[in-house]
Amino acid sequence: MTPMKSIKIAPSILSCDFGRLNEEIRTIEPYCDRIHVDVMDGHFVPNITIGPPVVKMIRSKKPLECHLMIEEPERYVEAFAKAGASIILIHQETCPHLHRNIQQIKDLGLKAGVALNPATSLGTIEDVLDTVDMVLLMTVNPGFGGQNFIELVLPKIAELRAMKHDLDIEVDGGITDKTAHRVKEAGANILVSGSYIFSLKNRKKAIKSLLNA
Ligand code: DX5
Ligand code: ZN
């Protein structure tokens, strides 16, 4: 199904040179819709990345989208809001009180999204679908950049698009010029991409290739 919504690109800074973070951001900023920031705690996922102090150092006019791959995200949501996040994504798998946690993000005046691992079914978020601004379907198991796209998520994207036609559906993991058209055809309209974009010197061309795929 072709998505009705326009396609947006969210480069993941996980694959950029952190020593030159703001320089790297300047290479993508004019061509993207938002900046995707991967936050990992070494518990929910087997990797540790960055926290609010680094988010605070990011200089960008584009909205910062913080993808919290952390346990008990409610303990850190306010700190990420203060650090400059505009959108916060929490994982269903880390939130026994998902509705409350979504409200916490919205009460801070931010956009709230819920993320699902490849093995987590849509039924787990059906009841909160009308309260979130977007849903992120992981197309890899979260934890690392540069992993291979997991095909079994494609029918899940289509199923979610059929459940809610005007929903912002984001996909994250293994998105390249080879896989972008498949997620778009399934119904995704926001594409996160890290290693593909940052492995290419010409970032404008990289982002365009995802938009045109
Ligand atoms: C994975 C992260 C992704 C990742 C995407 O846990 O959530 O955002 O950085 O990286 P690529 O595009 O390299 O798969
Ligand atoms: Zn991510």
pLDDT in tens, 77-105: 999 999 999 999 999 999 999 999 999 99
Look at ligand 1, atom 6, and give the residue with the nearest C-alpha.
Answer: 142
Phi-psi region of 173 (alpha: psi -120 to 50; beta: other; left: phi over 0): left
Asked if pLDDT for residue 140 goes beyond 50, the answer is yes
Asked if pLDDT for residue 179 goes beyond 50, the answer is yes
What does the alpha-carbon distance between residue 156 and residue 108 come to, in Å, rounded to a whole number? 30
Closest CA to 211 of 22, 3, 23, 38: 3
Look at ligand 1, atom 9, and give the residue with the nearest C-alpha.
Answer: 145
Give residue-wise pLDDT tens across range 14-59.
999 999 999 999 999 999 999 999 999 999 999 999 999 999 999 9
Name the average pLDDT for the chain: 97
Percentage of the residues of the chain whose pLDDT score is greater than 90: 98
Q: The pTM is what?
A: 0.97
pLDDT confidence of residue 171: 99
CB atoms closer than 10 angstroms to residue 123: 7
Give the ligand whose atoms come closest to the C-alpha of residue 67.
Answer: 2
Coil, helix or strand at residue 24 = helix
Percentage of the residues of the chain whose pLDDT score is greater than 70: 98
- CA dist list (Å): 81 to 62, 84, 91, 101, 193: 15, 5, 17, 14, 23
Find the catalytic residue in 127, 133, 172, 177: 172
* Residue 10 banded pLDDT, cuts 50, 70, 90: very high
Asked if pLDDT for residue 3 goes beyond 50, the answer is no
What does the alpha-carbon distance between residue 83 and residue 85 come to, in Å, rounded to a whole number? 6
